[in-house]
Amino acid sequence: MHKKSPSLPASIISSLRQRRSRPKTASERAAGSSGTLVASYNVHKCVGVDGRFDPERIARVIAEIGADVVALQEADKRFGERHGLLDLAWLEQETGLLPVPLGNATRAHGWHGNVVLFRRGVVRDVHQVTLPGLEPRGALVVDLDLEDGAALRIVAAHLGLLRRSRSQQARRLIEIMQSREERPTLLLGDLNEWRLGERSSLNELVPAFHTLPVPVPSFPSGLPLLALDRIIANRPEILSDVEVHDTPLARTASDHLPIKAYVDPSLPALSLPAAQDTDAAIHHAAGQDGLSERPLPLPAAGPEQRNGELVRQAGARLKRAVSRTLGRRQSGPRS
């Protein structure tokens, strides 16, 4: 008999009760933690909960996290020229983080708003993947050899607001993993799934990721109730518990809080092979630009469809889910 998954209201109430025990910041945990710190952060196009566009504030949150690898979502304008919104030169100077270079010569930082930043290491391979669905969505697949010895594949993604689209996109991510040489893999991003149990579209990920970690509420940032952001490993033993980066600055800078976890590079599963072909690799210190992209052996995604009304309805359902639970908590149990 399968254990029944907690309902969404029960999960939200649990997160409210646990909110008093805030996790320590990266600097506070540094003395007792080791490994590669990875993080995921939806920067909401650098618009904070106060409605103010402030890229510098987002950059300070990224510096505050202190991660070695960061997957960002909504780091580019969504329409028009889709140019990048962050000061990458400041980030490099203050944090040592550089974006994984892409083959497209545009003003965008990343691909469909997805950006992968890394501190030191070698980029072995990178692919830009268009995901199916009613909205224009994408993912970055990056093979990284980090300086501390971790050999990782990072899949950075931002899934859609519609459940059907999320299921299609999750299946595409599984196809990507199955089409490539096996490697320790982390899926980082805003997966936009607030449902739990059998109704969750993230169940599509189980064939490749096996056991999904306990969801950590990260949205909305002022009072996180829903676990929209995830860090998931195909080898769960390499990943520490996922935590939310909850600080006064992070609560204001975006409507999402960053999430983070440690990867232990000492595990044999993450060791680099004895010999590596470095001719096509990109070293952080070398500052080389661009990669020759090879197409993934996947079926064509087809033309991108757009249905703004359906997307707006999905966003409205998410807001109602939060409002209903908050209203239930304020009014108390019925007699």
- Domain boundary assignment for the chain: 26-271+305-327
Tens-digit pLDDT profile for residues 193-216: 988 888 899 999 998 888 888 899
Q: According to the model, what pLDDT value does residue 9 have? A: 59
Pick from 205, 227, 223, 225: nearest CA to 215: 227
Q: Among 175, 161, 301, 149, which Cα is nearest to 219's?
A: 161
Residue pLDDT, tens place only, 231-246:
999 998 999 999 999 9
pLDDT of residue 271: 61
Class of domain 26-271+305-327: alpha beta
Phi-psi sector, 332: left (phi>0), alpha (psi -120 to 50), beta: left
Cα 179 from Cα 185, distance rounded (Å): 13
Amino acid letter at 17?
A: R
Q: Please report which confidence band the pLDDT of residue 148 belongs to, taking 50, 70 and 90 as the band edges.
A: confident
In degrees and rounded to multiples of 5, residue 250 shows phi and psi of -65, -30
- Mean per-residue pLDDT, 223-237: 94
Q: Cα–Cα distance between 166 and 68 in angstroms, integer?
A: 28
The sign of the torsion formed by the CA atoms of 214, 249, 160, 75 equals negative
As a whole number of angstroms, the distance between CA 10 and CA 6 comes to 6
Average pLDDT, the chain: 78
Phi then psi dihedrals of residue 30, to 5 deg: -55, -40
Closest among 65, 9, 53 to 243, alpha carbons compared = 65
